[in-house]
Each structure stands twice: as structure tokens, then as C-alpha cells.
Amino acid sequence: MPETSKPQTPEIANKTIGEFVAEDYRTAAVFERHGIDFCCGGQGTLAKVCKEKGLDSGQILSEIEAVRNEPAKRGENYAAWELPFLADYIVNTHHVWLKENDPTITAYTRKIADVHGAHHPEVIEIAALFEKIATDMDAHLREEEEVFFPAVKRAAAARKAGQTPAREDRKVIKESLEQLKREHEEVGDAIHRIRHLAKDYAIPADVCNTFMVTYQKLQEFEEDLHKHVHLENNILFPKAAQL
């Protein structure tokens, strides 16, 4: 394990990746740069993840501090947002993006599988994986919009009014949390597999423009998914569990 470039307190060493990003989303860029999963894999501590990956945790902490010292953009303190507002933001930003882009990406992956599958067999598996992702995410979004988020909003309103949330809402939140977390892990594993098959979305020399656009869209999907899942796994879900 590389030696850290500066001493760490136990508190910092035991802070999870998700906690760093929940406190300041700009730190996500640091973790992405070092290949550290901050959404689905955000529960690991900085010390543990650096040990597993052979990274210098002191250097990463220095990069985190540098990012934190930059002037922050207004409105990016997601951890300070009230649950109903955060839920609406997720729906209006990330759910809308998925609904607009998933059908297009699915069609593109099928097309390049048909055209280039003979010389690039990996795109056949990519097409199958993304089709399942799109189908699963459709059901996932419905669960959040029609069941989970309404229960969270009702429970949050009850807490704000000094009341105990309804038993049925608390039951829905508990059961949905288990399901939604599991589904996040599944889609995270699938998109990691796609990235591996696509060799980090490197464009082969013998392919068409549609192939290039498809890989660009897959990368955009992954980037949006990371932020989407982070907002839920590391901020919204823990707060909802406290209701």
C-alpha cells in the first residue's frame, strides 16, 4: 500500500466515499479521476478503498481539499435540501433525462449490434445489457414516482408538522428502500460491464458515426446514472430511512 502523503485522523480515514460526495458534490470529480465508484460503491471508507486500489489516500485528500477551496456554485448543496424538493429535483432532472434518452440509446445499441456485431461481437452483449437496463429502469422510475416518493413526501410533511408519519407510509418507505437499493446495485453492475466491454468507450477505427454516437450516449448515461444514484443512495435514502 502506498504511503499517504500526510497524516490522517481516524475520523477522516473512516469517512465513506458517499459521505465525502454528499457533503460536497464537486469531490465526485476527484473520485472519478481515480476510478473510485462514489454512487453504488459509495459505502466503502476512503482508507479501505485506497488500500484495495493501491492509491495514495493522502494525495486524494489533498485533491479533495483543493476542490473544496474553490468557490462553490449556488444551489449545489444537495444535502441541505428538504426531502420533497430533492425528490422533485431527481424526477425533473434525472428521470426526465432517462425517459428522453433510454429509447434512443436502446435503438442505437441494437443498430450497431446488427451492423458491426460480426467484427465487434462485444456490441451484441452491450445491446442486450442496455435493453435490460432500460426495461428495469422503467419499472424502477415508476416505483419511485408512484409509490416511494409520495410516501416520503407525506412522511416528511408529518415530521415537519410535529406528527408521527403514518404507519403505512413508514412501511412503504422501508420496503421500497430495500428494493431500490438492490436495483441500483444491479444497474450499476450492468453499466460497469458495458464500460468494460466497450474498453472505456474507445472508438474503433473501422466503425460508422452511429457507433461513435452510441458510445458517447452510453457514456452520458453512465455519468447521469452516477449522479442520480449518488443523490438517492448517499443523501435521499439515509434521510428517508430516518422518517
With respect to residue 4, please indicate whether it lies within any of the assigned structural domains: no
Question: Which residues is 45 bridged to in the sheet?
Answer: 16
Domain limits for position 53: 10-68
Residue 105 sits in the same domain as residue 222? yes
pTM of the predicted model as reported, rounded to 2 decimal places = 0.78
With respect to residue 228, please indicate whether it lies within any of the assigned structural domains: yes
pLDDT on residue 38: 78
With respect to residue 230, please indicate whether it lies within any of the assigned structural domains: yes
Residue 26 sits in the same domain as residue 105? no
Mean pLDDT computed over every residue of the chain: 89
CB 94, CB 130: distance < 8 Å: no
CA neighbor of 171 nearest in space, from 81, 240, 238: 240
What is the C-alpha to C-alpha distance for residues 84 and 236, in angstroms, rounded to an integer?
A: 10
Mean pLDDT computed over 118-128 = 97
153 compared with 52, residue with greater pLDDT: 153
pLDDT on residue 73: 66
pLDDT on residue 33: 84
CATH of the domain at 19: 1.10.3910
With respect to residue 117, please indicate whether it lies within any of the assigned structural domains: yes
Residue 30 sits in the same domain as residue 108? no
Residue 185 sits in the same domain as residue 221? yes
What is the C-alpha to C-alpha distance for residues 121 and 110, in angstroms, rounded to an integer?
A: 12
Residues sharing a CB contact under 8 Å with residue 214, sequence separation 6 or more, in sequence order: 105, 108, 109, 111, 112
pLDDT on residue 41: 63
Max Cα–Cα distance, the chain, nearest Å: 64
For residue range 131-141, list pLDDT tens digits in order.
999 999 999 99
Q: pLDDT band at residue 151, thresholds of 50, 70 and 90?
A: very high
For residue range 4-32, list pLDDT tens digits in order.
444 445 566 678 888 888 777 788 788 88
With respect to residue 154, please indicate whether it lies within any of the assigned structural domains: yes
Mean pLDDT computed over 105-124 = 97
Number of domains in the chain: 2
Residue 201 sits in the same domain as residue 97? yes
Q: pLDDT band at residue 190, thresholds of 50, 70 and 90?
A: very high
pLDDT on residue 99: 97
Residues sharing a CB contact under 8 Å with residue 201, sequence separation 6 or more, in sequence order: 195, 215, 216, 218, 219
Residue 17 sits in the same domain as residue 85? no
